[in-house]
Structure 1
Amino acid sequence: MLALELAQKFRKTRSQQRFISFISMSSTIGIGLGCFVLIVLLSVMNGFEKELTGRILSVVPHGEIYSKSESGIENLEAQLYRFSQDSRLASVTPYTGLTGMLQSNGELKAISVTGIPVEQVADKYAERVSTQDWLRFSRQSNSLIVGKGIFSSMGLQVGDKVQVLIPQTTHDLTFKAPRSITLEIAGVLSVGGELDNQLGLMHLETASNAIGISSKAQGLQFTLKDPFSAYDTMRDIGYSYPQAVYMSDWTRTQGHLYSDIQLVRAVVYIALSLVIAVACFNIVSSLVMAVREKQASIAILKTMGASDSLIRNAFVLQGVINGFIGITVGVTLALLVAPNLSDIVRVIESGLGVEILSGDIYFIDFLPSSLHWQDVVVTIVVAMFLSVGATLYPAQKAVNISPTSALH
């Protein structure tokens, strides 16, 4: 292809073209660096989203309804059967929730305890509670599993006797002493982040008896096949429920994490797309200078019968080659680094003695990464589009050169 041969000829460096070559090289490096960083950071955002779904949403219910009355959920078995026929739901679990203060050795700490049917949810907590702790928990109806943060901060040990103080409400708003129940620490729940400083698990029947629920459960927890449909699904269930209930979903309690991830993803994509665009402006600069440098050569080609499309394609291909090289190098490095980013960061942490993500603050203590091929494809398409677009103006200037004025 003659246009490609001309493009390669024009790219060859001479002593007077070193500055042009430097600008051309900087554009190639900028495009490659932009593609590399964009793919890696998008992989990190994908990793956070994956961990959010796999860790927090595996423990936190996707949605829940709970009775407005103190008696709890009416006709529990019938409602469980009805929801088992709903194709949107993966599982439905009765529960009783209570919020109070955990007291041990003179210390108090706020805790949100969920009463659960132990045998029914064993698989759900299999990765968050050790097998030994779960067996101990399932054998004793007065046992309690607490979050890792609570366990550590209060200096608890398995087998310790603790008290949970539950506030009691009155219709006339008069003060009433909290109800106290004594439980035995059976194990530790590890979810990550602030949840480890808040959550506790106990037996459903014990929890229901503690707050005077006359039915078997205070509410129902739902696990959806599509967690991201929780907002619409829970409103559909709540509005059509035959009993007066409150409804909630994970987007109200943990949705800020997902919103933050999406916000950072959008900011990263816009910012690094602009970095690639700025690098492409260097293609414009280098090609404009190359056109001015090659005016005589272009004029000679035109006098020999070269068409405008041939001249235009030669300079377009010259810029596209720079973009293609940068994209290839950047994407290749990203494909090598992104899948192994977690291991690379661990090596850096151990070498420098620093901790990038603290498990006490965040819901994970490592930098996750999940490479999605659609991100790679979109990055390549955007970078190539910007690279081609940057060549159009210089290529048109080359076409507009008049042989008579250039050879004068």
Structure 2
Amino acid sequence: MNGFEQSLKSAMLDLIPHVQLKADNAENAQIEQVLSRLNTHAMVERAQPYITSDVILQTNQELMGVRLQGLFSGYNNAVSKHIELGKLQTLDKKKYQLVLSRYLANKLGIGVGDKVRVILPEVTSYTPLGRVPMQRLFTVAALYNSKSEADMHLAFSDGKSLRRLMRRADNSDLDISITLKDAFALVPFYASVTDLLSRYEKDDWQTQQGALFAAVAMEKRVMSMLLGLIVIVAVFNILSALSMMVREKQGEVAILQTLGFTPNMIGRVFMVQGLYNGLVGTVIGLILGLIVASNINEVLDILGLSLLGGAKLPVLFSPIGLISMATASIAMSFIATLYPAKKAANVLPAEVLRYE
């Protein structure tokens, strides 16, 4: 579940802003000041100017609606590491260049170097034929493949060309895109930059993808509950085993008491025995679990089981989670020893040894 959540986070949240700031009529000097402060923030991976629009891509074969993002030179971006064909640097050298996903390129029937018409329904102009949407031919400069849902609806161009197409001024109307080192750390991030964000309207990834990750979190909680029930069954096994041991070893307990063992000492003997079982079981379980989880895809291949499309199960170990589970397992094992230890401490030597 940790690996699945991490793969979703890296795939789906990598290409979209984690936080988007919008201030109407913000001057470039003000934006640069905010960007400079954000890029030095400990929780921010990168902050950059941001402009986007919903557009229609048209070719002779297909017509598709996508979200077009503008990239500005001098700033890091997430799409560069996903480029498969072409060069992203072409966006800085030429006007009206486009970066498409491999999925969109296949659907539109085009490749690197081909032309595609970009239509902006929200921006219109007057012509002799009436009011028509703004449109322009773009050249496909590169293809990317992030292997995520973003491939189905996200394209990129250089920010200046997109601003020109949207008829925006060169010194205002830019948003700010913020990518955090941990996309789930929105609350502490907002708390640390309250004064900076007070002048901006803010939006974050939870608006678009929050429902999906809430469902994943619910699945993790259900999975934790199921694993907890399994541990509880094991705890009851320890409880029943120790209770049977107390019943079977009453004679030995009575003899130890006659040799000078106090009831507390007798109770500690059984508590140590039960805790030892829980400790050894937890250690063995952790070792075997780590080995199997590390090689889960190889194990599935050996068993002849495979996921659809040849996909591999993602695995991510959480040290805090492992320590928490091990601690809880040992603690529950200890709690399970209290009742049998109390029963053993209450054994009366005279009654047990009466017929010996």
Structure 1 length normalisation: TM-score? 0.74
Structure having greater relative contact order (Cα 8 Å, sep ≥ 6): 1
**In structure 2, what is the Cα distance between the partners aligned to 1:353 and 1:289?**
42
Which ranges in structure 2 are unaligned for 5 or more consecutive residues?
125-129
Counterpart residue number, 2:68: 113
Deviation, structure 1 residue 187: 1.8
Deviation, structure 1 residue 351: 7.4
Which range is displaced more, 191-200 or 253-262? Answer: 253-262
**In structure 2, what is the Cα distance between the partners aligned to 1:203 and 1:49?**
32
**In structure 1, what is the Cα distance between the partners aligned to 2:306 and 2:274?**
43
> 1:177-196 residue pairs with structure 2 within 5 A?
177-196=132-151
Counterpart residue number, 2:122: 168
Deviation, structure 1 residue 104: 1.6
**In structure 2, what is the Cα distance between the partners aligned to 1:281 and 1:268?**
20
Report if the CA contact (8 A) 1:61-1:249 is conserved: yes
* Identical-residue share of aligned pairs (%): 27
Alpha carbons of 1:157 and 1:235: their partners in 2 closer, same or farther (altered >3 Å)? farther
Counterpart residue number, 1:158: 112
**In structure 1, what is the Cα distance between the partners aligned to 2:142 and 2:303?**
34
State the one-letter code of the partner of 1:354.
S
Q: Is 2:54 the counterpart of 1:99? A: yes
Q: Is 2:22 the counterpart of 1:66? A: yes
**In structure 2, what is the Cα distance between the partners aligned to 1:207 and 1:350?**
52
1:370 match: secondary structure: coil
Report if the CA contact (8 A) 1:349-1:356 is conserved: no
Alpha carbons of 1:85 and 1:121: their partners in 2 closer, same or farther (altered >3 Å)? closer
Which range is displaced more, 55-64 or 159-168? Answer: 55-64
Residues 191-244 of structure 1: per-residue CA shift (max 9 Å, x gap): 232111010001111111112112355422123455444452687544324xxx
Counterpart residue number, 1:220: 176
Alpha carbons of 1:74 and 1:400: their partners in 2 closer, same or farther (altered >3 Å)? closer
Specify which of 64, 80, 88 is matched with residue 134 of structure 1.
Answer: 88
Residues 136-193 of structure 1: per-residue CA shift (max 9 Å, x gap): 44433111111232223333222221112221368xxxx9543222112222222232
2:81 match: secondary structure: coil
Counterpart residue number, 1:10: none
Counterpart residue number, 1:354: 306
Q: Is 2:313 the counterpart of 1:367? A: yes
Which ranges in structure 1 are unaligned for 5 or more consecutive residues?
1-43, 359-364
**In structure 1, what is the Cα distance between the partners aligned to 2:305 and 2:104?**
26
Specify which of 195, 200, 208 is matched with residue 155 of structure 2.
Answer: 200
**In structure 1, what is the Cα distance between the partners aligned to 2:268 and 2:303?**
51
> Deviation above 6 Å: which 4+ runs of structure 1?
none
**In structure 1, what is the Cα distance between the partners aligned to 2:271 and 2:259?**
21
Counterpart residue number, 2:227: 272
Greater per-residue helix proportion: 1
Deviation, structure 1 residue 285: 1.1
Counterpart residue number, 1:77: 29
Q: Is 2:205 the counterpart of 1:250? A: yes
Report if the CA contact (8 A) 2:54-2:120 is conserved: yes
Number of equivalences: 342
2:64 match: secondary structure: strand
**In structure 2, what is the Cα distance between the partners aligned to 1:155 and 1:185?**
12
Structure 2 length normalisation: TM-score? 0.84
Q: Is 2:352 the counterpart of 1:402? A: no
Which range is displaced more, 180-189 or 135-144? Answer: 135-144
Counterpart residue number, 1:388: 334
1:220 match: secondary structure: strand
